[in-house]
Structure 1
Amino acid sequence: MLLLDLTEDGIVVTDVERVLSPDHKSMLAYWRFRPNGQDRQIASSGAETKATLAKVTDYFDKHNVVYKLGESARDALSRQVQASRALQNATNAGEEIKAGLDPESAEPFLHFVRTELPRRLRSHQEKAATFMLSVANSANFSVPGSGKSSVVLAVFAWLRQLGECGSLFVVGPRSCFVPWQHEYEATLGVGPRVCTLAGIPREERVALYNPVTAEIADLYLCTYNTLLQDADHVVKLFRHSSNKVFFIVDEAHYVKRSDGAWAQSVLLAATAAVRRCVLTGTPFPHSYADAINLFNVSHPEVSPFPPDIADRIRVQSERQCHDDARRMLEPVIYPLYYRVRKKDLGLSEPKFLPPVSVSMNHIERRLYDTIVDRIRTLSESDAIRDAVTISKLRRGRLMRLRQVLSNSALLHTVIDEYDEDLLGHDRSVASLIANYKDTEVPGKVTVLLDLIADLRRSGEKVVVWSYFVDTLYLLQEHCLDQQWLAKVVCGRTPTSPDTTGDTRDKIIERFKDTGSGLDILIANPSACAESISLHRTCSHAVYYDLSYNCAEYLQSLDRIHRVGGSEHKVSFYHHLQYSDTFETEIFRNISEKATRMAEVLDVEFPYCYTDLPDIEEHTYKRLVQ
């Protein structure tokens, strides 16, 4: 007889009576079983331990090999059987709902949502919530601004009433913390007992994970980095007998790589939760292989993907064969996710005003012309360089071009991995850059101030977007000169709640307050384009400059165009651009790509968009021609 068990080191097979034949040993060797130094024992370890255990037992059963399971192995197989059954039930439920059948659980749940919750869900949210309830451990890939958090909270309230959940544990970027607290109170009608697990010393956090020394919270808020540091403590919290945790992975595209440290910590926590949900509006930002880890998080005990299918999806994605990868992916995940498209939200049509054409002032025009001429001259010798060097040079040159189109004073700053002397040894040009801030105001600043003045006279708040931090503070300085209160949100803005003075969350909440006097928010899309809702009090966004990052651009558009305010209120978008410059080219390219990307994303099965045109490459080719 064989003894088969699980230890901390992996699977151990003890051949007590020497019943393993050479063929059996060969098969086990294929599964990476090796002698472990103990008499008559072989062992296998690795990330797929549970899956390997199932393969071994199936093989032994098929070949009539008598074996006995140790307690750990027996428990693991039992959990896997339960998880496989749960996955199949979820798949069946998802297929039925998407085929138009109403689940039996829908009627009492919807009665609860419509009569017991103070916030009424919209039609698309009720459908999403019914799907989430019926398809346990599902994913919600609805577009940004659709109200995914309200859907989760409605399901959580119902499950807690049934005694199936006690706490909601949200892991995501810090920017989602305040919105989750607001949505909790708005949806459930009562403020949550909140435990924020970020921005405090680790020793203090450890005590908060212990239900014996700390009260169990209604809502836990945790960053991905904190979860990475505290994963073992989070698992203990999830497994405590006094608690049942609904684990929410918000902005889940942060953990798309299965071999990433954040992804591993999320996967570890997911195994201990009683229920899981993955939320993101952009599930496949780079390839369809990104989906594999998302669904392994929602189903950590038994992956929805057979190993051969997962490997083939990864291979086809690496080869850029996206259509082939999509054909293999879609039937696996289609029953396990819900998606609300932008067209389903019933929002008013946003108004993109014609770009405001601005004439450059004398010095910035001279600097711009100098840079363009130098780029064209230097590009003539690129043919003798290697591809990596050429790529770095092109990115650096285009960054200098964007800097002069934003604020010529930026030209004195250092650019990572770019040390080319683009401006040559012209001392007069160097002097113009060094003294620019004291000698000239960029033409777009003057036009921006006039635009803000008009909006203020109409009683409107406005968010101004720029991609350069120094430009943000330059714009704030000019607003303050006009006696206008304006605040900046960027990577430098403090986030810790213990910070004295302004923090990112305080600034945003103050801006959203109609009586605060703060009517101008100046922000960087990379720091403020995700998990932020400004739509209830702000209908105007001004783009002072643009980058080539279309995903961030689309995210920033959604800050003022969302469910719960934009159904009957028009959102206005203003763009400033210098005439007779390549800024018109950048605007046209990113507008076209944004339109195509929005079309790609606004379908039932979201596409990845790696095959969309490279704006940087296109702009550079036009520049040097």
Structure 2
Amino acid sequence: MILVEYVAETRQVRLISDENGAGWIHIRRTCLDQTDEFEDIGPSQFAIPWWSFLAVRSSIGFYAKEYGLTLNVDDQATKLLKEALAKSKSFNQDGEEIFSLDAIRPKLTALKFARPITDKQLRNIHKLIKYKAAATFSVPGAGKTTEALAYFAIMRNENTHLLVIAPKNAFAAWEEQLKECLPALKDDICRLIGGFNNISALLTHPKKLLLITYQQVPNVIELLGSFLNEHPCMVFLDESHRMKRGATGVIGKAILSLAHLPSNKLIMSGTPLPNNISDLVPQFNFLYPEIKAEDSTVKDLIQKVFVRTTKIELGLPKVNRVSIPVSLTPAQQYLYTLLKSETALEAANLKTADRNAVRRFSRSVLRLIQLVSNPMLLANTPLAHQGILAEILSEEDSPKVDWVCNRARQLAYEGKKTVIWSSFVGNVELIAARLADLKAEYIHGGVEAGSEEEEDTREAKIKRFHDDQHTYVLVANPAACSEGISLHTVCHHAIYLDRNFNAAQYLQSEDRIHRFGLTLEQKTYIEIVCAPGTIDEVVDSRLRAKVQRMGEVLDDPDLNIDPITLDPEATDLEKEDIGEILNYLQGKAT
């Protein structure tokens, strides 16, 4: 006999066997192979997360039947299994139509939902409310938050809470949107901040809508698990691609451990697969842990439950993208050739299964990107060719930095504001200093969020860029500034000094100046500075491939970033990124 018992405190299932025969060995092996969180308690028992158990339950049942083993499932596990079966059945039957399309607006009015909804939002809400768990992947400005709050209003009962897991810079938007959409609840919202003890106190007498950051979730997972056990609650993931590492990441593992507890779930992202199709698997696992999803199946599975409003549907004019070739100096090219050769030797022995080796290789690739962007970024990096670097730094500036600064001055002379993007803090501060006469502001991860009244906060800098007609330039890091801000009312030119392999950050940074609210006559210009024959071209190729793949999955043909080429803190690399980099280093065509 095998006892299957649910452990509420840890959100795990524990399997205990009274014998260690072949059937038990097969069950242990299956669970060990198919979960990253196998807890070995001894030869006759082990524990795995409940969401993982749901994915392997059919295999456990198969081996139990094959070897004549009796499964004794406790009451709580039986209850959860019945709920999982009901959710699977609803998913397979394409949900349940609660209200007709025509009935949704009157229903929202009756619920005192104050914001008028557009026809596109009505279409999306109609599909979302068919499911206990769904996804909205609309582009920025299309109203994902409005759709989410409408879903909450329709699907909740009087006692239902809403837990929103979101980036910190999205909190203010949720507070503002709640005030506009559900004014009766405008004061019934709080931020779960201040550490374990403070969050514990906040959850003792909880508000209706609770906001928490992705980084905070693992620190208070026991509190959240208990809260979701004891209260009817929906959970929405805003910018859900942030959990794309799934069980292999601290944040993803914590969120997945809660997946079976909410009454309803939504995932929200304009860029749900920033690297490849596998990014969608953990997000779908959160929505439907009871349905097994793999790279080969997740596209078809997610199609059933996601909605998306595209830029074409919003009536946005197309972006004018231009690739600007800027060559390295001879000395810079010489050093680049040396570093490229060293990186190629490192790549020859690279084993992608060795995470430490991949990290070292990623740092070497980052070094190439830095050298091409601005050699000064390597000033404090140990190099075998320190003398050559010193010569470069003493005699010449970065051609790319020079071009970007000159272009920003040209646009300012024409009365036009510009946002300049770089992945490196050193570049962000350097360019802002060089363009101080244009009252350039800068934002990177070291700039704190706060109020508009505090001089050096993120919000104050953005306000000055918006309101001061003489502040012509904003220099920013996509990792810190690609979400949660809108610049499209005052700025229509963006320049990329450099880019990394993160497609989500790149797309979201573009969307700061290309989003709903632009007129059809307004042109948006994206200028990408690229050094021919360097790692810049590999980055460009990988980003275009990732964005094209995302467009195919989301059925959005307008999602592409192919630029027109004019004649005269980096992220972890994915396997496909590494493959193309290796081809480049080895001189193979890509």
Match of 1:464, SS state, is strand
Which residue, 473, 494, 516 being the options, matches 2:429? 473
Residues 4, 67 of structure 1: 8 Å contact kept: yes
Code of the residue aligned with 1:348 in structure 2: it is P
Question: Counterpart of 2:49?
Answer: 47
Q: CA deviation at 1:177?
A: 2.4
8 Å contact 2:495–2:527 — kept in the other structure? yes
> Structure 1: how far apart are the matches of 2:547 and 2:285?
27
Q: For residues 270 and 447 of structure 2, what CA distance do their matches in structure 1 show?
A: 26
Q: Is the 8 A contact 2:275 2:503 kept in 1?
A: no
Tell me the distance in 2 between the aligned counterparts of 1:612 and 1:346. 33
1:215-253 CA-to-partner distances (Å, cap 9, x unmatched) read x33432212221101111123333445xx4221112222
Residues 354, 273 of structure 1: alpha-carbon distance in 2 compared, 3 angstrom cutoff: closer
Match of 1:79 in 2: 80
Please report the TM-score for the alignment, with normalisation by the length of structure 2: 0.76
Amino acid at match of 1:533: S
- Report the 3-state secondary structure (helix = DSSP H, G, I; strand = E; otherwise coil) of the residue aligned with 1:138: strand
Compared with structure 1, are the counterparts of its residues 289 and 370 closer, same or farther at alpha carbon in structure 2 (3 Å cutoff)? Answer: closer
Deviation at 1:491, TM superposition (A): 2.2
Question: What is the rounded CA distance, in whole Å, between the counterparts of 1:486 and 1:232 in structure 2?
Answer: 45
Letter in 2 for 1:266: I
Identity %: 22
Specify the alignment match of 2:571 in structure 1: none
Q: Counterpart of 1:88 in 2: which secondary structure? A: helix
- Cα distance in structure 1, aligned partners of 2:177 and 2:305: 25
Question: Kindly tell me: are residues 468 and 30 of structure 1, through their superposed partners in 2, closer, same or farther at Cα, counting changes over 3 Å?
Answer: closer
Q: Which moved more, 1:218-227 or 1:176-185?
A: 176-185
Moved more, 385-394 or 399-408: 385-394
Query: Which range is displaced more, 217-226 or 514-523?
Result: 514-523
How far the C-alpha of 1:398 sits from its partner, in A, is 5.5
Which of 227, 249, 252 aligns to 2:217? It is 227
Q: 2:496 aligns with which of 529, 533, 543?
A: 543
Name the counterpart of 1:368: 332
- Give the conservation status (yes or no) of the 8 Å contact 1:118–1:188: yes
- Counterpart Cα distance in 1 of 2:4 and 2:502: 53
Match of 2:549 in 1: 600
- Map of 1:564-583 to 2, 5 A cutoff? 564-565=517-518, 569-576=522-529, 582-583=531-532
Report the Cα distance in structure 1 between the residues aligned to 2:458 and 2:82, rounded to whole angstroms: 46
Residue 443 of structure 2 is matched in structure 1 by: 489
Q: How does 1:161-560 map to 2 (within 5 A)?
A: 163=158, 165=160, 167-188=161-182, 191=186, 193-198=188-193, 200-211=194-205, 216-241=206-231, 244-256=232-244, 257-300=246-289, 303-305=290-292, 310=293, 313=294, 325-326=295-296, 328-353=297-322, 355=324, 365-372=329-336, 374-375=338-339, 382=345, 386-387=349-350, 399-414=366-381, 419-423=382-386, 425=387, 430=390, 433=393, 435=394, 442-445=398-401, 447-456=403-412, 459-480=415-436, 482=437, 484-495=438-449, 501-511=455-465, 513-514=466-467, 518-560=471-513
The answer on 1:126 being equivalent to 2:122 is: yes
Q: 1:371 to 1:12 in 2, by over 3 A?
A: closer
Letter in 2 for 1:409: M
Letter in 2 for 1:272: L
Task: Give secondary structure in 1 for the equivalent of 2:435.
Answer: helix
Q: Which amino acid aligns with 2:102?
A: E
Distance 1:496 1:375, change over 3 A: same
Alpha-carbon distance in 2 for matches of 1:11, 1:358: 60
Measured in 2, the distance between the counterparts of 1:294 and 1:187 equals 26
* Contact 2:23–2:69 (CA under 8 A) maintained in structure 1: no
From the superposition, tell whether residues 504 and 87 of structure 1 become closer, same or farther in structure 2 (CA, over 3 Å): farther
Asked whether the 8 Å contact 1:105–1:134 carries over to 2, the reply is no
Question: Separation in 2 of the partners of 1:110 and 1:234?
Answer: 33
How far 1:562 moved relative to its partner?
Answer: 2.0
* Distance in 2 between residues matched to 1:60 and 1:398, nearest whole Å: 50
Unaligned 5+ segments in structure 2 are: 30-43, 557-573
Give, in angstroms, the shift of residue 131 of structure 1.
1.4
1:110-143, CA deviations, whole angstroms, 9 ceiling, x for partnerless residues? 3345896454333333222221111121123345
8 Å contact kept, 1:277–1:298: yes
Secondary structure of 2:129 counterpart:
helix
Q: Is the 8 A contact 1:91 1:335 kept in 2?
A: no
Partner SS state of residue 575, structure 1: strand
Over 3 Å counting, the alpha-carbon distance change for 1:390 and 1:566 in structure 2 is: farther
* C-alpha separation in 2, matches of 1:184 and 1:566: 27
1:322 is matched with which residue? Answer: none
Deviation string 1:173-195 (CA, Å, 9 cap, x unpaired) is 32332333343344446745442
Task: Give the RMSD, CA atoms, in angstroms.
Answer: 4.6
Asked if 1 retains the 8 angstrom alpha-carbon contact of 2:488 and 2:514, the reply is yes
Structure 1: stretches of 5+ with no match in the other structure:
16-21, 34-41, 97-101, 314-324
Q: Deviations over 1:539-596 (max 9, x none)?
A: 221222344544433332222222344666332112345xxxx347556555555444
Partner of 2:94: helix, strand, or coil? helix
Partner Cα separation in structure 2 for residue 528 and residue 91 of structure 1: 39
Letter in 2 for 1:261: V
Provide the rounded CA distance (Å) in 2 between the counterparts of 1:375 and 1:31.
50
What does the per-residue CA deviation read over 1:466-489, in whole Å, with 9 as the maximum and x for residues that have no partner? 122111111111222x1x322221
> Corresponding residue for 1:157?
153
Contact 2:455 2:461 in 1 (8 A): no
Q: Shift of residue 619 of structure 1?
A: 4.9
* More deviation, 513-522/218-227: 513-522
User: Bigger CA drift: 381-390 or 399-408?
Assistant: 381-390
Partner SS for 2:418? strand
Give the TM-score normalised by the residue count of structure 1: 0.72
**Structure 2 counterpart of 1:210, which letter?**
T
Counterpart mapping for 1:8-23 below 5 A: none
With over 3 angstroms needed to count, the CA separation of the structure-2 counterparts of 1:90 and 1:492, relative to structure 1, is same
Distance of 1:227 and 1:168 partners within structure 2: 15
Deviations for 1:288-315, whole angstroms, at most 9, x for unmatched residues? 4443332232234xx112xxxx5xx4xx
Structure 1 residue 623 displacement after superposition: 11
Q: Which amino acid aligns with 1:601?
A: M
Opposite residue 352 of structure 1, the aligned amino acid is R
Question: Given that residues 6 and 12 in structure 1 are in contact (C-alpha distance below 8 angstroms), is that contact kept between their aligned partners in structure 2?
Answer: no
Letter in 2 for 1:80: L
Q: SS of the counterpart of 2:127?
A: helix
Query: Alpha-carbon deviation of 1:597?
Result: 3.5
2:90 is aligned to 89
The DSSP-based 3-state class of the residue aligned with 1:46 is strand
